[in-house]
Structure formats: C-alpha cells, structure tokens
Amino acid sequence: MKKIIIYTVPFIVSLIWLIANKNTFNPISLKGPDFLKFYLILLLGFYASVFLLKSLKETVSKTTFYFMISILVLGIVKLLRGIFLGKPVGFLIMILILEVIVMLFLNLSELKQKIK
C-alpha cells in the first residue's frame, strides 16, 4: 500500500499542474511543448520515487512495472497522434527511448538481485 501511495504522488502532481495551467483533464489534447512539460513532470516524479524506494532497499514490484507501462503507453499514444497529425515528435521519441532504457535497467537490476 505504501508503494502505491508513493507512486500516485507524481500522477497527482502532474494532474494538478495540468488542471492549474491548462484547464483540462486530458493530456492527449495538449500541444507538443505543453505535453512534454506534463510528461516530464510525470516521468521525473515517478522515477524519482522509484529510485528513492530502491535506495531504501525496496524491491521493484509488479505495481511499479504497471505504473511504468501506463506512463509509457501514454507517451506512445501521444507519439502516434503526433505522427498521424504530421507534427514533429523528435523530443518525445528521445524521451520514450530513454524511458525504455531506464525500464530495462530497473528490471535487469531487479532480476540480478533475484538471482543472487
């Protein structure tokens, strides 16, 4: 339960930013730079909480993986929308590639700990 609360804090913070600055609940409807701000707030907050828990010797659970996948899916949906609308998506592609690398790093380090 503690992990779920810690992981939902970045979602709530990014949602508050979205409502306060853009007056919407839908991050997909945002223009490119605004979506990137929202997405970076979400990513940095979430991965900061993940690395905080890892520094406290907590394990990366399935809940963490589900949150990571949901953030990745949000980015992929926005990427596809941008491609279909003919918008530049280079920064989002770089962020998504970096996100996948971090996900692999977290999952491989957890796998190594289970093997030992």
pLDDT score of 81: 95
pLDDT tens digits, one per residue of 3-28: 778 888 888 999 999 999 999 999 99
List the one residue out of 53, 80, 55 whose CA is nearest residue 67.
Answer: 53
pLDDT score of 1: 67
DSSP the chain: -HHHHHHHHHHHHHHHHHHHHH--S-GGGS-HHHHHHHHHHHHHHHHHHHHHHHHTT----HHHHHHHHHHHHHHHHHHHHHHHHT---HHHHHHHHHHHHHHHHHHHHHHHHHH-
Rounded-to-integer distance, Cα 53 and Cα 43, Å: 15
Q: What is the pTM of this model?
A: 0.87
pLDDT tens digits, one per residue of 35-50: 999 999 999 999 998 8
pLDDT tens digits, one per residue of 89-99: 999 999 999 99
